[in-house]
Amino acid sequence: MAWENTPQTFTSERGLRAALIFALAAERLSLYYEHGQWLTEAQGATLAADWLARSKQTMALAERRHLAGLSDRLARDIAASLSREAGLYTAHEMLESLDPNYHSDMAQTLMAECERLLDSEPAP
């Protein structure tokens, strides 16, 4: 699972939250295209907790659920705007980008979108 590549140290809380949105959206898209199902908000919050635990960080459940909701919105917007083939490629590219040694212009653009989403939605 791609989550094993993601534990990192972030220089800011905002960076951590944007990265969680990105990683959760990548996972959501991957599962959607592989199995035709979307993660629930609770499943997203649990994945976020697992990821945070690997990097020895924590976050309140309400905040994890909020970020899971934002990731769901992003993933569904991406899926609705792309063909299946383009969506599969995007999901793959996002999952690959969870490795800090992998560079992707597409992933950088999507990370900027995650930051925009984060800034537009107040935390609980």
Q: pTM score > 0.85 for this model?
A: yes
Domains of the chain: which residue ranges? 14-120
Report pLDDT digits (tens) over 21-40: 999 999 999 999 999 999 99
Give the burial class of 90: count Cβ atoms within 10 A of its Cβ; 0-12 exposed, 13-18 middle, 19 or more buried. buried
Considering only CA atoms, give the Rg of the chain.
13
User: Structure tokens of 12?
Assistant: 């800011």
d(CA 21, CA 46): 13
User: Structure tokens of 104?
Assistant: 């992707």
Report pLDDT digits (tens) over 47-106: 999 989 988 889 999 999 999 999 999 999 999 999 999 999 999 999 999 888 998 999
